[in-house]
Chain A
Amino acid sequence: MKKLALILLAFAASLPAQELDSHKLLNPGTDSWPTFNGDYSGRRYSTLAQINQTNVGSLTLAWAFQSRSQGSFTSMPLVVNGIMYATLPDQVFAIDARTGRQIWHFQRPSQGGGNRGVAMYKDRLIFTTPDAHVICISARDGKQIWQIQIADPAFKGFASMAPLVIRDHVLVAGSGDAADLPGFLLSLDPMTGQTQWRWDSEPKPGEPGSETWPQDSDVMSRGGGMLWLTGTYDPELNLTYWGTGNPHPVENSEARPGANLYTCSIVALNPDTGKLVWYFQPSPHDTHDWDTNMTPVLFDANFKGKPRKLLAQAGKEGLFFVLDRTNGKALVSAPLGDSDWYSGWDERGQPIPRKEAEPQPDGALVHSAITLWNAPSFDPQTGLFYVNERDWINVYYLTIPGKKAQGWAGRDFTVVGKPFLKALDYQTGKIKWSKEGTGRGGGSSGILTTAGHLLFTADTSGNLVALDPATGKTLWHTYPGAAMGSAPMTYELDGRQYVVTPVEGVIYAWALPAR
């Protein structure tokens, strides 16, 4: 008996802690999904191929997790050491990634909605809340370790994004564009929550970029440009890439003549210092609330015969850009769909907005392709970039004209939005194939591609689908009862590949039938 106990003790002592090995962030492997996008690149491409074109038709439900909560999953679950971490606003669930059984549940009521997931640092989880706090809890049991406030809810500040961990930096930002707040990105100490550096979306007076704001007002000091979607990271270049949101006041041109840097921009920052290395602006002088927060997707590939370090982004303004991510130079600038709000490209490859498309007191009719935050994917096997897009027709009204405008100074109403899933050639921006959505309304869903020659997403009728990424042909579909607001992710445990789809309050895990 004593011997057995000793053996047991020795065995117990040898069980590893379930913390995240920092190397896993650089090389996640197939058994984990340790960051918002699965890895630092934001490609949302998995090398798993157990589920593939030959067998995807027999995909079956492995398990379902019921949150039993009002909230809807708009988050990306992480999987580390066989444990899934998923969030609803103010809630974190630890779930057995093999069985779907809940391990623990963290809840901290506040006001508001929307959360996109946790970040993991060693044995800790870090996430943001609707009342603009950043909270660090233990991954073992969900006990709170620290919390800090990063914006003021009285000024409509909130936070929803999943933080990004780079070495000993937790990169996180707040949101809110009702009350003219300045945008920022913070780097926090994962041990204490203390700020290591802060990057502001707007320059200070006299700094480069300040010339793109009016000099006779202080509008630049609260010019918006929120960073509300998780960025990406290139460890070789040691640069982290983020998209910034729309300028404030929103949808009013007169109050802020100029390009309004660095709003509606892709920015490359040094993660150790927060210093800006380069920028590119997909929506200069934005007057349509076209955030450019969408994931800057990183991949290395041949471009016109030469190997290049590339960054591709499809933004809310409905344009597709491929940049050299060492310097931000545009290699491809192309429309995702039908757009009439810009007249051409400037010398940097940025669009030149048309004055007539700006919001007007009596309404301006604007055609614009659009994509929302739901993740795109780059599949290195096909060389195609996939994005769910809508050809939107909106009327934009200027409701608070003049230089004194504040907050939401315009209103926009969607007349119609025809949905498409599009596959773009990264070397030309040309659309290789396009699949029109079967519904007119519904949500937009994110995308996952895998080495099994599969593309997982949801269509606009609410079906979960697996498509052939080369052609768009549907190979598997099922109706989960509601639209998937988030995106699919995948991992392999015990030799079994799971594809996970969060749908409203339920997480479904799909797999091939158990042998």
Chain B
Amino acid sequence: MKKLSLMLLVIFAAALVVRAQDDAPQGAAAASQKQAQAEAVERGRKQFVGTCAACHGEDATGGRGPDLIRSSIARHDKGGDLLGPVITGGRPDRGMPNFPFNDSQVGDLVAFIKAQIALFDLHTRTPGAYPNDIPAERLASGSVEAGKAYFYGAGGCAKCHSPTGDLAGVAGKYTPVDLQTRLLYPAGKLPNATVKLTSGETLTGVLQLNDGSYVAIKDKDGWYHSWPRGAVKDLKVEDPLAAHVELLHKYTNADMHNLFTYLVTLK
């Protein structure tokens, strides 16, 4: 279990380095800075694993020594001002030896520790790459055969979809979590509407608004039309995702995992 968690953290930490840079201005300078930062974290990780991990754990969550993710010194450190002296001077009173690292080595270690803290601080709904980086192998815990059987049988997926048609190569189009979420409900497809006006005219298009007071559609040529609800005699709304909605109330976790395990084979 611990090994799994460590492995995951390593994967996520790498993603984080990329994510943390997302805000930086674009351009060659920014890209090279990003690269330099990622390299510093990686050098720091190697040094940390070789020197510090025995006491502080490979992921810096502690062991014999304190948890650095929850360390006030690490949290308040600015560019090594607090961690530097502890690393190079040690804490003899608490049994921590000193390590004669030079400034650039200390900088790498600090970069790694800070990256670990940022990793643990990530909120579930923080936008960015990290949460979507759960590897497909973890999500594909079901059976390809059972997933395929569900696709052609109980799920009724084959009524609308084909692994050689619209789903060809689907596994490569989305991140694993997106693929799992989208197989459940590919949000974003708006309902189709047939609008019969009191004037007698009938129009069809993609529904844009139906709030009780107004109806709006976009027709097949891409033009937007809207009417007061009173001018609409009859409104028929057809949800292209109705079959997905229906399935959402039938899926077991096993169905979901089997179906995903099958779909990731569609590379």
Contacts and interface: CB of A to CB of B under 8 A. Distances in A.
Interface of A: 152, 154-156, 178-180, 222, 250-251, 289, 356, 360-365, 367, 393, 395, 397, 399-402, 404-408, 410-413, 415-416, 438-440, 459, 461, 463, 474, 477
Contacts of B8: 399-400
A393 B184 contact: yes
B15 to A, nearest CB: 12
B210 A360 contact: no
B122 A408 contact: yes
B253 A360 contact: yes
B28 interface: no
B68 to A, nearest CB: 11
Given A365-B253, A406-B70, A251 B5 contact: no
Contacts of B69: 179, 406-407
Contacts of A393: 184-185, 248
A180 B70 contact: yes
A289 B209 CA distance: 32
A404 B62 CA distance: 10
The residue among A155, A362, A367 with the most chain B CB atoms within 10 A of its own CB is A362
A367 B211 CA distance: 26
A363 B131 contact: no
Nearest to B181: A413
A363 B256 contact: yes
Interface stretch (B38-46, B89-97, B134-142, B152-160): B134-142
A416 B248 CA distance: 9
B211 A362 contact: no
Nearest to A249: B120
A399 B10 CA distance: 12
20 contacts: A152-B72, A152-B75, A178-B121, A179-B70, A180-B70, A362-B139, A363-B139, A363-B253, A365-B251, A399-B12, A400-B8, A401-B1, A406-B70, A408-B124, A411-B177, A415-B185, A438-B212, A440-B187, A463-B213, A477-B212
Contact of A363 (B125, B180, B213): B180
Contacts of A179: 69-70, 120-121
A407 B121 contact: yes
A289 B123 CA distance: 11
B4 interface: yes
A156 B76 CA distance: 11
Contact of A155 (B12, B75, B123, B249): B75
B141 A404 contact: no
B257 interface: yes
Nearest to B74: A154
Q: Which 9 A-B pairs have the closest CB atoms?
A: A461-B211, A154-B75, A362-B141, A178-B121, A438-B211, A407-B120, A411-B131, A402-B1, A415-B185
B212 A408 contact: no
A439 B212 CA distance: 11
B79 to A, nearest CB: 14
User: Interface range on chain B: under 10, 10 to 19, 20 to 34, or 35 or more?
Assistant: 35 or more
A298 B2 CA distance: 47
Contacts of A463: 211, 213
B134 A397 contact: yes
B211 A397 contact: no
B184 to A, nearest CB: 5
A395 B122 contact: no
A461 B209 CA distance: 8
B123 A474 contact: no
A395 B124 contact: no
Contacts of A416: 184-185, 187, 245, 248
A400 B181 CA distance: 20
Contacts, number: 121
Nearest to B12: A399
Nearest to B134: A397
Interface in B1-41: 1-2, 4-5, 8-9, 12
Interface string B191-223: 000000000000000000111110000000000
B122 A365 contact: no
Contacts of B181: 395, 413, 415
A154 B72 contact: yes
Contacts of A250: 124
A505 B141 CA distance: 47
B105 interface: no
Contact of A402 (B2, B123, B187, B213): B2
B61 interface: yes
The residue among A400, A401, A461, A477 with the most chain B CB atoms within 10 A of its own CB is A400
A85 B125 CA distance: 31
Contacts of A415: 181, 184-185, 187, 248
Contacts of A222: 70
The residue among A289, A393, A408 with the most chain B CB atoms within 10 A of its own CB is A408
Contacts of B248: 393, 415-416
Given A178-B121, A179-B121, A404-B2, A362 B177 contact: no
Contacts of B249: 367
A415 B181 CA distance: 6
Given A362-B139, A363-B256, A401 B5 contact: yes
A477 B213 CA distance: 8
A198 to B, nearest CB: 20
Contacts of A404: 2, 5, 61
A415 B61 CA distance: 33
B177 A406 contact: no
B182 to A, nearest CB: 9
Contacts of B245: 416
Contacts of A152: 72, 75
B5 A397 contact: no
Given A154-B76, A179-B121, A356 B253 contact: yes
A1 to B, nearest CB: 61
A416 B181 CA distance: 9
Nearest to B251: A365
A381 to B, nearest CB: 24
A108 B124 CA distance: 29
Contact of A156 (B121, B124, B138, B257): B121
Interface in B239-263: 245, 248-249, 251-253, 256-257
Contacts of A251: 124
A254 to B, nearest CB: 8
A397 to B, nearest CB: 6
